[in-house]
Amino acid sequence: MSLDALCESLPAYAKDLSANLENLASETVLTEQQKWGAFVAAAYAVGTPQVVRAINEAARQAGLSPEATAAARAAAAVMGMNNVYYRSLYLISNPEYRTMPAKLRMNVLADPGVPKVDFELWSAAVSAVNGCGMCLDAHETELRRSKTPSPSIQAALRIAAVVKAVSGVISAEAAAVA
């Protein structure tokens, strides 16, 4: 399924999502790798099959390298774990847990196989999908430290928001007919 077909499959009540998806696919604030990596990472974070397939195909057609695709998927995987863990630390009122080592393997953070700023953008997008404020703060701090402009960070967050919303509509419509 193509991105155009995904947009066309959205019901009329989600026409704003379709327009946003099309606009973000054409946005120019991010590099092509950053943009399509954010799409892939967000799609894998949500995991809706139809959306994952359409975004994988669009990213492939846009020229996202296999290495960048793998790194975006790795961002979704490791942040899926980290977002649960660190969000829990934030939600638990006992501060002792924040002083304990995580003891979770996350080696991909040290060497993601793409520029660190790209991986940070993708990790921020996944953290937005998963609702982890602690991780969003950490990734935004790293991005600001690397002099990433706010509009670039916002673009990754917008991609995450639209992919999440599109995935929700696709899943809900599938449930309605099942």
Domains (ranges, CATH) in the chain? 3-177 (1.20.1290.10)
Is the Cβ–Cβ distance between 172 and 48 less than 8 Å? no
What average pLDDT does this structure show over 17-22?
97
Query: What's the confidence (pLDDT) of residue 58?
Result: 97
The pLDDT of residue 178 is above 90 = no
Residue from 42, 125, 132, 136 carrying the catalytic annotation: 132
What average pLDDT does this structure show over 92-121?
93
Q: Which residue has the tokens 């701090």?
A: 141
Query: What's the confidence (pLDDT) of residue 33?
Result: 98
- Categorize the per-residue pLDDT at 109 as very low, low, confident or very high, splitting at 50, 70 and 90: confident
Residue from 25, 59, 135, 160 carrying the catalytic annotation: 135
Query: What's the confidence (pLDDT) of residue 110?
Result: 86
Q: Tell me the C-alpha to C-alpha distance, in Å, between residue 158 and each of 39, 124, 148, 155.
A: 10, 11, 16, 5
Nearby residues of 157 by Cβ (< 8 Å), 6 or more positions away? 124, 125, 128
Annotated active-site residue 132? The verdict is: yes
Average pLDDT, the chain: 96
Query: What's the confidence (pLDDT) of residue 133?
Result: 92
Query: What's the confidence (pLDDT) of residue 75?
Result: 97
Q: Whole-prediction pTM value?
A: 0.95
Annotated active-site residue 7? The verdict is: no
| Residue 21 token pair | 């998806």
- Categorize the per-residue pLDDT at 6 as very low, low, confident or very high, splitting at 50, 70 and 90: very high
Query: What's the confidence (pLDDT) of residue 152?
Result: 98
Summarised one tens digit per residue, pLDDT across range 123-133 is: 999 999 999 99
Q: What is the rounded distance in angstroms from the CA atom of residue 28 to the CA atom of residue 9? A: 25
Sequence letter at residue 85: Y
What average pLDDT does this structure show over 15-44?
97
Q: What is the rounded distance in angstroms from the CA atom of residue 69 to the CA atom of residue 37? A: 6
